[in-house]
Amino acid sequence: MSRIKGKELSPELMALLDGTDLDSKVGETVLLLTVSESGWPHLAMLSVGELLATRPDEVRMALWTGTTTGKNLRRTSQGTLALVYGGAGHYIELEVTGTSGLQVGTKTLDYFSCAVTKALADVVGYATLTTGIRFELPRKEDVVSRWEHTIAAMRAL
Ligand SMILES: Cc1cc2nc3c(=O)[nH]c(=O)nc-3n(C[C@H](O)[C@H](O)[C@H](O)COP(=O)(O)O)c2cc1C
């Protein structure tokens, strides 16, 4: 059973999503669940290069433009981040507090500021989570550099 940890990100999740040392965090995958217009759960995947926790109760996100996920966030103002980290499942409920375009170099991203409304941790005694979804980057340096620009733009807001 998942346990409510409160309305704030844990120090461990803050450290993961604080926008620093992105190189060492390549592969960590965060699911973003939204609710579609027809009421279905809708999933997208994000990396640590598109998410920035500025405070334990605030998360900023920069998504690709024109996604269904972005439309869902604007329409419902709700989203849930889900990830496996540190041997636990973490489900973070977010309420969108603002949205705009975010200029990063020549590209515009779909920016959302969010308040953390609930933080759940999923841990059971009889099993240990060993890994979440992970990815590799064939051109890691290029991608990490892009992430750093995105994080800097979000931090500057
Ligand atoms: C490894 C991986 C990384 C992804 N990174 C991002 C990302 O940084 N930003 C983003 O908006 N979508 C990212 N996506 C794509 C989303 O999962 C999603 O397919 C996309 O945003 C389109 O979403 P939509 O179905 O809501 O239109 C990534 C997908 C994968 C498989």
pLDDT in tens, 52-106: 999 999 999 999 999 999 999 999 999 999 999 999 999 999 999 999 999 999 9
Domains of the chain: 2-155 (2.30.110.10)
| CA 78 and chain centroid, separation | 13
How many angstroms separate the CA atoms of 18 and 78, rounded? 21
How many angstroms separate the CA atoms of 89 and 86, rounded? 8
Ligand 1 atom 9: the closest Cα is on which residue?
Answer: 63
How many angstroms separate the CA atoms of 96 and 126, rounded? 36
Please give the number of the atom of ligand 1 that sits closest to the Cα of 34.
Answer: 26
- Report the run of H or E that residue 108 belongs to, with start and end: strand 107-122
Its pTM stands at 0.95
Ligand 1 center–CA 126 separation, angstroms: 33
Cα–Cα distance list, 37 to 34, 74, 75 (Å): 10, 11, 8
Q: Is 64 in the pocket of ligand 1 (CB under 6 A)?
A: yes
* Predicted confidence (pLDDT) per residue in 1-33, tens digit: 667 778 999 999 999 999 999 999 999 999 999
